[in-house]
Amino acid sequence: MTENVNSDLRAMQKEHGPLLEVSHLAIDFTTDTGKAVHAVRDSSFSVYPGQWVAIVGESGSGKSTSAMAVLGLLPGTGHVVGGSIKLDGKEIAGAKQSEFDKLRGTKMGLVPQDPMSNLNPVWRIGTQVKEALKANNMDVAHEKRSSLAKALAAGEAAVQLKGNDDETFLGSKELPELMDAAKKALNAAGVTGEAFDKAVAGFESEWVPGSETRWRVADDLIKAGVASEQAWSIAKKYVLGATMDDRIAGLLSEAGLPDAATRARQYPHEFSGGMRQRALIAIGLACRPDLLIADEPTSALDVTVQKRILDHLRMLTDNLGTAVLFITHDLGLAAERAQHIVVMYKGQVVESGPSLEVLQHPQHPYTKRLVAAAPSLASQRLISAHERGENVDALLEHKVAGEAALDKSEHIITVDHLVREFKLPRKKEMFKAVDDVSFSVKRGTTLAIVGESGSGKSTVANMVLHLLQPTSGKVFYEGRDTSTFNAKDLLNFRRHVQPVFQNPYGSLDPMYSIYRSIEEPLRIHKIGDNKSREKRVRELLDMVEMPQSVMGRYPNELSGGQRQRIAIARAMALDPDVIVCDEAVSALDVLVQDQVLRLLNDLQAEKGLSYLFITHDLAVVRQIADEVVVMQHGRLVEHATTDEVFNNPKMQYTRDLLDAIPGGKLQLGLD
Amino acid sequence: MGKYLLRRILQMIPVVLGTTFLVYALVFFLPGDPVKAMFGDKPINEAVAAQIRAEYHLDQPFIIQYFIYLKNALTLDFGNTFAGQPVIDEITRAFPVTIKLGLMAFVFEAIFGVVFGIISGLKKGKWYDTVILIVSLLLISVPTFVTGFVLQYLLGIKWSILPVTAGSDPTFLDLLMPAMVLGSVSMAYIIRLTRAEISSNIAEDYVRTARAKGMGNGQVMLRHVLRNSLIPVVTYLGQDIGALMGGAMITEQIFNIHGIGFLTYQSILKGEANLVVSIVTLLMLVFVVCNLIVDMLYAALDPRIRYA
């Protein structure tokens, strides 16, 4: 977008007034006992046409609830009890569902949070896109473009848009003939050699049936050197409108799905999470809404996928002139993507303003905490309470030297040429999940394994934990090969090497009280009597900063962050040497994540623990790790100290991962 | 798919062998001597008894008898009853009646079960939801013969709407009440299953996504709530066909319907091993085939399930 267009946009926004204006909104949920729970109180914000506005807050802050109220899709007993929601100046708070039906799809679209559960598993992807088009009686033969988008396009295109006919879509039937005609026209215009090939390649990638319009085809031809009149006559002759199937494929392909016509016939379970999210974006934008509500659209995805999808969404909404209400818990992500930030805390808007302004000069204490906690904005390793002010490297050297004197091996865990293969169903060849990976964890330090999902990092963790047998290669603990361990050695090994898993909801037995969960390892290893075990559990709870009163409670009564603390307390119960954290903080909100990371770091300083830290999030790595191993497709692609990886990445893949950190390049001007 | 089907059909062979063996053994070791029973009050003529025993191979050891039965069954000769009737004739006479009854019960439970289940699931907490729930609980907890007697008394005797019992050649109207009784328990289960499925599916994220597309309530319900909710209901219904055939025994006794259940009961009393084993094998085949169809149907209804 040029500067010129940008100022046009701002002028239009000003003239138009806010697209969405929420003022003094209040939302209640009614409990079973009839008591009202105030989910949102007195919150106000507005979204101008074509603008990205982010609502930031932790889970339970009312950010999603506010957005759902705008769509008229409050769950369960939720209802708007006060304030107003104006869409295009029209009051919609308290409107009937049938009135909302008319607004949803065409005026407002939704890209939901969890791509896994938001597509109906029994319908084909294409069918689910079609439903959106059908429900709003969309004209699939012509593009619908907002006045804003038209104005923006006019600034870029070399052609003058006349009427609706120019918005006719290209159909798949006419594509081959159009391509032939275009080639002939190029020849006639004297375009040859490299220029010709380049132009044709451009047409092939640009001319997507059901997405490319007549005026764009003409525009492309003119730009390639075909005379204006001839270009228009070709476009008019061969761009005659798309069928429903073309339009579906066009939408999916706009959302970044390759080979969309085939993909449209597949079912959701045949798609990866990222692909499903693209399909959901296609659905959300299918009817060209003025406002798109994106409710944590990428929280369930890997950072690299997140970046690609958000980049794409940005490009699409810019082209269409769609305003986006972007909901996220990551302030860094919000600041990077949105022009305006609204911070919500406990159901109220505590701060709002232009993104950089909020980030650089946070006013409210909660915003200040968010800024401090955002992993994407942190620039260095956490320093524990004991070490604050000291040089980490010097400290490490000191520690290593101290231990050498104790005549123990410097490397507590060594992984040597580890390979793990899996048998795939209906396939003969084995799938190499981990391919020749070697590294070692120094005593008292943290080594992070980074990679996207499917890179084999969790498989490595499971082999280190001796929960999975390697196909070949060895794991050494304290210099001893773990594969030679007998039952007694193994019990001892399990005592000293403890895991903390990703999902704090799944890794605690829901039928066990918190006390029983933490006490269980002590009982298994027959340590102490009932009384001393209880004392130990109390100590552990203190250690993870949880009140002792939680002992009698059950996991479902605790929040995600609290459960993860319990999981850490359980791992600490046996005074281990090594803790393997498999995505231990990935499922947590930023503030909670920050607390857990600090806790882990302080424990490391106190007890001299070593961590093997598995994560897909490089931002977290910077805060906790001393060394980083980067994995891709089961292979180790880079191994260096954290500072080296961040300051001087050697592999392109590592650079991609670094680029994907949201807000990584924001200049904060903080001290 | 073809491979899967073949494997499933081959799996039937051990099932058939096992069932026939078990049932044959059960009837064989039943207390009482069927041949002696044939003489009734008259003194037993040992010569005639020995002749009958030889004719039906009853003088042979159990295992030999079983193999003789199997060998004949392979040539579709299922032997004769003690009265001299071919077993196959008895079955072909009784089976159509049971099929008719079973199908009527099936249609009854499918229609009313699903309809009441949907009403109940969509309007959870309304008074009629409560009524439907209580009635379904009642039908599940009260034994079929009690339901049968109550209906016989109310519909048959007190109000005289429907015939109280059916004869040997029952009409549609004769079988209406028995079919309702036979299908009542399954109907109650289907109501509860449909209700539970609908109320859990309605809270699914994809239903919200559908609403966000701008789809009207009717379309959302039809395409996203009902379509998904009916998958387990259809599979339950399919498996129930087999169960209805077997469950007809009590219903046919109550209403004096001369179907398969009635025949089985009579032949167990008389110790007619050939007849009992043949009927049970037939019922078992119906059951296994129904199961296979259900599994195929399941794959057709739910794209996530593929057989290889």
The answer, yes or no, to whether residue A220 has pLDDT greater than 70, is yes
Q: With a CB-CB cutoff of 8 Å, which residues 283-312 of chain A face chain B?
A: 283-284, 286-287
A282: nearest Cα among A325, A246, A316, A311? A316
Judge: B303–A269 Cβ closer than 8 Å, yes or no.
yes
Q: Give me the pLDDT at residue A392, please.
A: 45
Contact at 8 Å (CB) between A287 and A244? no
Q: Which residues of A touch B219 (CB under 8 A)?
A: 131, 135
Q: How far, in Å, CA of B279 to CA of B267, rounded?
A: 10
Q: How far, in Å, CA of A194 to CA of A205, rounded?
A: 17
Q: How far, in Å, CA of A46 to CA of A21, rounded?
A: 4
B201 touches A: beta carbon within 8 Å: no
Rounded average pLDDT over A233-238: 89
- Strand ranges in A361-504 using DSSP code E only, listed in sequence order: 411-423, 430-442, 446-450, 472-477, 480-481, 497-500
Tell me how far CA of residue A482 lies from CA of A474, A475, A477, A479, B254, in angstroms: 7, 6, 6, 9, 70
Q: How far, in Å, CA of B255 to CA of B251, rounded?
A: 6
Buried b or exposed e, range A133-170, using 16+ CB within 10 angstroms: bbbbebebbbbebbebbebbbeeebebebeeeebbbbb
Q: Give me the pLDDT at residue B192, please.
A: 95
Tell me how far CA of residue A481 lies from CA of A412, A478, A493, A610, in angstroms: 12, 9, 11, 18
Q: Give me the pLDDT at residue A394, please.
A: 43
> CA of A131 to nearest chain B CA: how many angstroms apart?
7
Tell me how far CA of residue B104 lies from CA of B111, B189, B246, in angstroms: 11, 17, 15
Tell me how far CA of residue A120 lies from CA of A116, A129, A135, B85, B113, in angstroms: 9, 11, 16, 58, 25
Given CA atoms A543, A546, A551, A556 in this order, what sign does their dihedral have? negative
Buried b or exposed e, range A293-326, using 16+ CB within 10 angstroms: bbbbbbbbbbbbbbbbbbeebeebbbebbbbbbb
Q: Give me the pLDDT at residue A335, please.
A: 86
Q: How far, in Å, CA of A487 to CA of A282, rounded?
A: 55
Tell me how far CA of residue A206 lies from CA of A211, A223, A250, A322, in angstroms: 9, 13, 11, 21
Q: How far, in Å, CA of A455 to CA of A477, rounded?
A: 24
Q: What's the total number of domains in chain B?
A: 2
Judge: A122–B210 Cβ closer than 8 Å, yes or no.
no
Structure tokens at B102: 């079973």
- The rounded Cα A562 to chain-centroid distance in angstroms is 22
Show which of B58, B87, B116 is a domain's final residue.
Answer: B87
Q: Give me the pLDDT at residue A389, please.
A: 42
Show which of B87, B105, B126 is a domain's final residue.
Answer: B87
Q: Which residues of A touch B208 (CB under 8 A)?
A: 73, 75, 110, 112, 118
The answer, yes or no, to whether residue A407 has pLDDT greater than 50, is no
A551: nearest Cα among A588, A562, A607? A562
Tell me the HSE value of B266 on the side-chain side, using a 13 A CA sphere. Answer: 17
Buried b or exposed e, range A49-68, using 16+ CB within 10 angstroms: bbbbbbbbbbbebbbbbbbb
Judge: B214–A117 Cβ closer than 8 Å, yes or no.
no
Given CA atoms A97, A98, A101, A107 in this order, what sign does their dihedral have? negative
A586: nearest Cα among A439, A433, A441, A450? A450
End-to-end Cα separation, chain B, in angstroms: 6
B302 touches A: beta carbon within 8 Å: yes
Selected residue of A64, A74, A98, A131 to mutate for chain B interface (largest B Cβ count, 10 A): A131
pLDDT per position as a tens digit, A501-534: 877 777 888 889 899 999 999 998 888 889 999 9
3-class SS shares of chain A: helix, strand, coil, % to 5: 45, 20, 35
Judge: A123–B223 Cβ closer than 8 Å, yes or no.
yes
Which of B214, B223, B303 has its CB closest to that of A267?
Answer: B303
Q: Which CATH superfamily is domain A411-514+576-659 in?
A: P-loop containing nucleotide triphosphate hydrolases (3.40.50.300)
Structure tokens at A428: 């003969």
Tell me the HSE value of A250 on the side-chain side, using a 13 A CA sphere. Answer: 27
Residue type, B162: L
Same domain, B22 and B102: no
CA angle A661, A109, A70 (to 5 degrees): 95
Same domain, B171 and B255: yes
B220 touches A: beta carbon within 8 Å: no
Judge: A117–B308 Cβ closer than 8 Å, yes or no.
no
Q: Which residues of B touch A71 (CB under 8 A)?
A: 212
Q: CATH no. for residue B201?
A: 1.10.3720.10
The answer, yes or no, to whether residue A280 has pLDDT greater than 90, is yes
Same domain, B113 and B158: yes
Q: Give me the pLDDT at residue A45, please.
A: 93
Residue A431 contacts by C-beta under 8 Å, 6 or more apart in sequence? Answer: A421, A422, A423, A424
Same domain, B200 and B149: yes
Q: Which residues of B touch A105 (CB under 8 A)?
A: 212-215
Judge: A131–B215 Cβ closer than 8 Å, yes or no.
yes
Rounded average pLDDT over A232-239: 89
Q: How far, in Å, CA of A566 to CA of A550, rounded?
A: 10
Q: Give me the pLDDT at residue B249, please.
A: 84
Domain hosting B58: range is: 1-87
> CA of B75 to nearest chain A CA: how many angstroms apart?
40
Structure tokens at A515: 């006390």
Task: Give the least confident one: A82-91, A353-362, A382-391, B224-233.
Answer: A382-391
Number of DSSP helices (H) and strands (E) in chain A, helices first: 26, 20
Q: pLDDT-based confidence at A148, cuts 50/70/90?
A: low
Tell me how far CA of residue A188 lies from CA of A192, A226, B37, in angstroms: 10, 8, 106
Q: Which residues of A touch B205 (CB under 8 A)?
A: 112, 114, 117-118
A587: nearest Cα among A614, A554, A555, A561? A561
The residue of chain A with its CA nearest to that of B216 is A101
Which of A101, A132, A280 has its CB closest to that of B216?
Answer: A101
Give chain B's radius of gyration (CA, Å): 24
A200 touches B: beta carbon within 8 Å: no
Q: How far, in Å, CA of A425 to CA of A646, rounded?
A: 39
Which of A120, A132, A267 has its CB closest to that of B206?
Answer: A120
Long-range contacts of A314-319 (CB under 8 A, 24+ apart): A314/A52, A316/A254, A316/A255, A316/A281, A316/A285, A317/A50, A317/A52, A317/A285, A317/A292, A318/A1, A318/A50, A318/A152, A319/A149, A319/A152, A319/A153
pLDDT per position as a tens digit, A419-455: 998 877 666 778 888 999 999 999 889 999 998 877 8
Tell me the HSE value of A405 on the side-chain side, using a 13 A CA sphere. Answer: 5
Judge: B209–A131 Cβ closer than 8 Å, yes or no.
no
Contact at 8 Å (CB) between B83 and B272? no
pLDDT per position as a tens digit, A310-327: 888 888 888 888 999 999
Q: How far, in Å, CA of A87 to CA of A246, rounded?
A: 32
Same domain, B132 and B192: yes
Classify strands A430-442 and A446-450 as parallel, antiparallel or unpaired.
unpaired
* Same fold: A1-138+248-373 with A411-514+576-659: yes
User: Can you tell me whether residue A439 is helix, strand or coil?
Assistant: strand
Selected residue of A73, A96, A122 to mutate for chain B interface (largest B Cβ count, 10 A): A122
Q: Give me the pLDDT at residue A552, please.
A: 86
Q: Give me the pLDDT at residue A294, please.
A: 92
Judge: A122–B303 Cβ closer than 8 Å, yes or no.
yes
Angle subtended by helix axes A193-206 and A214-224, to nearest 10: 170
Q: Which residues of B touch A117 (CB under 8 A)?
A: 204-206
> CA of A255 to nearest chain B CA: how many angstroms apart?
16
Tell me how far CA of residue A463 lies from CA of A436, A458, A497, B171, in angstroms: 13, 9, 12, 70
Q: Which residues make beta-bridge pairs with A135?
A: none
Kindly give the confidence (pLDDT) of every residue in chain B, 308 residues in length, as a single tens digit, with 9 standing for 90 and above.
778 888 888 888 898 888 888 888 888 887 777 777 777 777 878 888 888 888 877 778 888 888 888 888 888 788 888 777 888 888 888 889 999 999 999 999 999 999 999 999 988 888 999 999 999 999 999 988 899 999 999 988 888 888 888 877 788 888 999 999 999 999 999 999 999 999 999 988 999 999 999 999 999 999 999 999 989 998 899 888 888 887 788 888 888 888 888 888 888 888 787 888 888 888 888 888 888 888 888 888 888 877 65
Mean pLDDT over all residues of chain A?
83
Q: Which residues make beta-bridge pairs with A343?
A: A56, A351
Report the range out of A66-70, A478-482, B85-89 with the highest average pLDDT.
A66-70
Q: pLDDT-based confidence at A393, cuts 50/70/90?
A: very low
Judge: A73–B219 Cβ closer than 8 Å, yes or no.
no
Is the reported ipTM for this assembly greater than 0.85?
Answer: no
Judge: A104–B303 Cβ closer than 8 Å, yes or no.
no
Q: Residue for token digits 């798609």?
A: A271
Q: Give me the pLDDT at residue A408, please.
A: 53
Q: Give me the pLDDT at residue B212, please.
A: 93
Which of B203, B210, B304 has its CB closest to that of A131?
Answer: B210
Which of B209, B219, B223 has its CB closest to that of A118?
Answer: B209
pLDDT per position as a tens digit, A565-603: 899 889 988 889 999 998 887 767 777 788 888 888 888
Residue type, B78: F
Judge: A71–B303 Cβ closer than 8 Å, yes or no.
no
Q: Give me the pLDDT at residue A108, please.
A: 93
Tell me which of A142 and A243 has the higher pLDDT: A243
User: 10 Å Cβ neighbour count for B3?
Assistant: 9
Which of B212, B301, B302 has its CB closest to that of A110?
Answer: B212
Domain A1-138+248-373: which topology? Rossmann fold (3.40.50)
Q: Which residues make beta-bridge pairs with A449?
A: A614, A629
Q: Give me the pLDDT at residue B125, please.
A: 84
Which of A112, A123, A135 has its CB closest to that of B205?
Answer: A112
Q: How far, in Å, CA of A632 to CA of A455, rounded?
A: 5
Determine which helix (DSSP H) or strand (DSSP E) holds B185, and give its type and residue range. Answer: helix B172-201
Residue type, A234: I
Q: Which residues of A touch B204 (CB under 8 A)?
A: 117, 120
Same domain, B177 and B238: yes
B308 touches A: beta carbon within 8 Å: yes
Give the residue extent of every domain in chain A: 1-138+248-373, 153-240, 411-514+576-659
Residue type, A366: Y
Judge: A287–B214 Cβ closer than 8 Å, yes or no.
yes
Judge: A135–B211 Cβ closer than 8 Å, yes or no.
no
B83 touches A: beta carbon within 8 Å: no
Tell me how far CA of residue A382 lies from CA of A41, A375, A379, A578, A612, in angstroms: 36, 11, 9, 19, 16
Residues in chain B, how many?
A: 308
Q: How far, in Å, CA of A646 to CA of A655, rounded?
A: 9
The burial of A29, by beta-carbon neighbours within 10 Å (0-12 exposed, 13-18 middle, 19 or more buried), is given as middle
A289: nearest Cα among A325, A253, A244? A325
> CA of A295 to nearest chain B CA: how many angstroms apart?
12
Determine which helix (DSSP H) or strand (DSSP E) holds A81, and give its type and residue range. Answer: strand A79-87
Same domain, B104 and B35: no
Q: Give me the pLDDT at residue A591, please.
A: 78
Show which of B37, B72, B87 is a domain's final residue.
Answer: B87
In this structure, what are the phi and psi dihedrals at residue A87, rounded to the nearest 5 degrees?
-110, 120
CB pairs under 8 A between A and B: 93
Q: Give me the pLDDT at residue B56, please.
A: 79
Long-range contacts of B223-227 (CB under 8 A, 24+ apart): B223/A120, B223/A123, B223/A131, B224/A120, B225/B198, B225/B201, B226/B118, B226/B198, B227/A120, B227/A122, B227/A123
Q: Give me the pLDDT at residue B308, please.
A: 56
Instruction: Please report, to the nearest 10 degrees, the dihedral formed by the alpha carbons of residues B271, B275, B280, B281 taken in order.
Output: 140
